[in-house]
Chain A
Amino acid sequence: MPSNDAIVVKNLKKSYGKNSVLKGLNLTVKRGTMVALLGPNGAGKTTTVRIMSTLLNFDGGSVSIEGNDVKSDPEAVKSMIGLTGQSAAVDEILTGRENLIMMGQLYRLTKKSAVARADELLREFDLVKAGGRSVKTYSGGMRRRLDLAVSLIATPPVIFLDEPTTGLDPRSRLAMWAIINQLKAEGKTILLTTQYLEEADQLADNIVVIDGGKVIAEGTAKELKAKVGRDRLELTFAKESQLKDAVKALGKSVIDNDGRELTVTVMIADTNKDVKAALTSLEKAKIPIASMAIHKPTLDDVFLSLTGKTKKSAAPKAKKGKK
């Protein structure tokens, strides 16, 4: 292998007619790491993944997967990658086990290997019981798990996960996260796309934020959040006099106090230390708290701070990103 980079995307361009979807996207994923491509609907996440997995042509730039160029050697790329898309790419009528065996054979595994590997994956993905049932009867979470299992059948070193948890209920999402973390622990190179900051935060080593077909920021979750603004502690009081006392007691860490709602907002850098400090100072001043909440920066905050606009889909409920 030429370098430590499993995925290298350079100046990638793609348009549909006059509509330019990717405007010179650059991306590098080190072997054995997980990178999250974070962005709102229409940012170009799925287009990027489809290009990287040979499903889509592109107009300019280059993409190489484990040293293989997507354009000149798509067959080599196909043998390196596993793809799990937004809609589960499995056969509805076949059973889960039949799907795995068939796809294994299409990946050129011998029948014997395909069967053994199918049974192993059904165990790993908690689908042993469901394995004999038609996929039609599966829940959304089971479908996604099966879909992911199918993409792993020939143990590819590079895995693309296109919004693997979109539309899943919280429990299925957690199960999916556990599996993804397991894959990471096994040393796979993973590129994940998501609309959820929390998901990128939980799973990825590195986050690349894209919007309008370009990378607008990248870094670890911590670095991005530092750019975006930190966690905020919101304290609400019963009386206006208490609010005034609290603002005094908390001193310069207060970033906002809303007279009408009797709430003060405190910026916190270290959840443990700063929250404790704030509560201690209120206790010393004998000011009772009516309620409190910690707010994490949301994707809206990221976009507000990086692009100066809220993401299109959630504009009405967007949080006011106070600085």
Chain B
Amino acid sequence: MDSKSTVKLEFSKQPKPLLAIKDSLLMVKRSSTHIIRNRDQLIGTFFQPIMFLVLFTAVFNAVGLALPKGIDYLSFLMAGIIVQTVAFGSTTTSIAVANDLQRGIVDRFKSLPMSNLAVLNGHVISDVFRNGISTIVMLLTGLLFGFRPNASFSEWLVIIGILVIFTLAFSWLSAIMGVLAGSVEGVQWMSFLIVFPLTFASGAFAPTDSLASWIRPFAENQPITHVIEAIRSMMIGTPIGDHGWLALVWSIGIIVVCMPVAAYLFRKKTIKV
């Protein structure tokens, strides 16, 4: 190669799979930098969970729902609102993917000898970090308002595990929405149509058996309800039933389906029209 550079350039000669992992790590660093430097989004990350928690507790407490014996509404709501925030928050992935597609940077990435999945990996994984921060903020706020979970240490580890896998699942789903929507505006209505019903027609804010009968079959069997019930029962010490493994199966299933689909659609949308 011709080089008038006075810098002696050295190329990494690592095996391909290792380079692909490095590409993804570089993209995680890029996406995380985006999140940190986007002040509006950062404010949302911290304050949206606080706002939701305070408002929902105040409003629904007044309604007086039929809750399991000895459970106050805050303790009931906690798991629901964490999962809801994660589901809403994963829209960030859609927006980041749509943004990339609208800009010239996709051409740059394509003309590089890098792995294609890395761009999506970057957005999805950094989204897990961001959602992790939101969740911690929410838990701390809950504690401040009198939430007293009685999960054991090992139960907390399971809760964290389920949340991370669920966040990954939703972020990959969001990545698909981002590719399909192709613009930030498109993402907004798409997430409204998909994420909104999924989170509200669930056991997030009220026990599913208190919901209207036509919506109950859906609410009782959809993935978000299983994730919420699994986390809730571990936090407040009620029997977990089938929710634990169903939450995991659903989340892993969504990842297994959505990851290759997102990668395929992204490639199709960006390469070789």
Contacts and interface: CB of A to CB of B under 8 A. Distances in A.
Chain B, interface SS category: loop
A218 interface: no
B5 A155 contact: yes
A187 interface: yes
A239 to B, nearest CB: 57
Classify chain A: how many residues form its interface, as a range: 35 or more
Q: Which 4 A-B pairs have the closest CB atoms?
A: A89-B108, A87-B104, A89-B104, A155-B3
B69 interface: no
B105 interface: yes
Given A55-B107, A57-B273, A113-B8, 6 more contacts: A85-B107, A103-B108, A113-B9, A117-B5, A155-B1, A186-B4
Interface stretch (A33-41, A73-81, A197-205, A314-322): A73-81
Interface in B106-132: 106-114
Contacts of A83: 107-108, 111
Nearest to A117: B7
Interface string A66-106: 00000000010011010101111111111000100011011
B139 to A, nearest CB: 29
Contact of B7 (A78, A107, A120): A120
Given A87-B103, A155-B4, A78 B111 contact: yes
Given A106-B26, A106-B114, A89 B107 contact: yes
B111 A155 contact: no
25 contacts: A55-B272, A56-B272, A78-B112, A79-B113, A87-B103, A89-B103, A89-B104, A89-B106, A94-B30, A94-B33, A98-B33, A105-B22, A106-B23, A106-B112, A107-B112, A108-B11, A108-B113, A109-B10, A109-B11, A112-B10, A120-B7, A134-B37, A154-B11, A155-B1, A155-B3
B271 interface: yes
Main secondary structure on chain A at its contact with chain B? loop
A116 interface: yes
A154 B113 CA distance: 11
A95 to B, nearest CB: 9
Contacts of B3: 155
Contacts of A91: 30, 105
Contacts of B242: none
B6 interface: yes
B12 interface: yes
Interface string B4-43: 1111111110000001001100100110011001100000
Contacts of A112: 10
Contacts of A156: 1
B108 A90 contact: yes
B185 interface: no
Contacts of B9: 109, 113, 117, 154-155
Interface string A306-318: 0000000000000
A185 to B, nearest CB: 9
A64 interface: no
Nearest to B273: A56
